[in-house]
Amino acid sequence: MKGKGILFLAGLFTVFNSYSQKINPENPDLSPGNFKLDSLPSSEINIPIQVNLKPVFTMAEKSVDTLFTSPGYPDKWLQEGCATRFKYVFRRSKLRVKAAGTSMHLGFTGYYKIVGSTRVCVNGTVISPWTPACRCGFGTEGERRVDVSFTNSLSIQPDFKVKLDNKRNEPEALDKCEVCFWGQDITKQVMKGLTTELDASKKELDKSYGTVDLKPRFQQVWNQLSKVYTIYGLGWLKINPQKIRINNLFAQNDSLNIYLGLS
């Protein structure tokens, strides 16, 4: 009797399955239009960078000559017009560098001595021979002094290069240079000759150090931010930088401060 009951239940189950509705679910549509990932808003990050300017100052110190002389010194004379000739030697002190905002000031004190002589000319015609050589800055009198300076303006270029716009300021004589017993002042002639030499030095500064390339430093920052960082026990972090810009740039003492903006 018990065996017949089991056979009855088995038959009933078979009949029930034969009449039940089968469920066949469709595959989900995972196309980009129907399957969306969670999105995060863009973040704005400010990154301060400080560049040491001491190497730049050292290069400037090496590029500006420490000794200037008139052409052909000490054998040849530098002559302007008919009535005056002279020759000089000039040395400079160590560079003084000051930086503030977007300006940088380079200056030094120059020390010079000069030998000169004159003669009488009328309408370009020589009337008398040269006088005996007269000296300025020799012996107990001491070298004559002059202040020399350059002003540099900083500006950032689209290719992340900092341009130094060099301007030579006019030399400022601190002492007069009077020669011969009648005290002829030839300071202006000396300053003119010095200006020519300083202009040549300025060209070398512009050529060699007029531009400072910051792109390699920015590339280092970009590479670090593009890495994937493991957050232990939580997962990983990737900043995924999209754009970098310069928000501010200014110099202070021997440092160049740059504030980057990162999206």
Per-residue pLDDT tens over the stretch 202-259: 777 777 667 777 777 777 877 777 777 777 777 777 777 777 777 777 778 778 787 8
Residue 251 resides in a domain: yes
pLDDT at 104: 79
Question: Average pLDDT, whole number, for the chain?
Answer: 75
Chain centroid, CA 113 distance in Å? 36
Q: Are residues 107 and 204 in the same domain?
A: yes
Q: Which of 144, 142, 146 is nearest to 108 (CA)?
A: 146
Who has greater pLDDT, 106 or 18?
106
- In 26-143, DSSP assigns E strands to 45-52, 67-69, 78-80, 84-92, 96-101, 103-118, 121-122, 125-126, 134-136
At 233, give phi and psi (nearest 5°): 80, -10
Average pLDDT for 162-184: 79
Residue 34 resides in a domain: no
Q: Are residues 181 and 225 in the same domain?
A: no
The predicted-structure confidence for 155-167, as pLDDT tens digits, reads as follows 777 777 777 788 8
Enclosing domain of residue 117: 53-213
Residue 40 resides in a domain: no
Q: Are residues 177 and 248 in the same domain?
A: no
- Evaluate if residue 16 carries a pLDDT over 70: no
Burial of residue 68 (number of CB atoms within 10 Å: 0-12, 13-18, 19+)? buried
d(CA 90, CA 92): 7
Residue 239 resides in a domain: yes
- Tokens matching residue 61: 């110190």
Q: Are residues 238 and 223 in the same domain?
A: yes
pLDDT at 2: 45
Average pLDDT for 181-199: 75
Q: Are residues 166 and 207 in the same domain?
A: yes
Torsion of CA 95, 99, 102, 105, to 10 degrees: -30
The predicted-structure confidence for 30-77, as pLDDT tens digits, reads as follows 555 554 555 667 777 777 878 787 887 787 788 777 888 888 988 889
Q: Containing H/E element for 251?
A: strand 244-252
Number of compact structural domains in the chain: 2
Confidence of residue 17 (pLDDT cuts 50, 70, 90): very low
Confidence of residue 132 (pLDDT cuts 50, 70, 90): confident
pLDDT at 111: 93
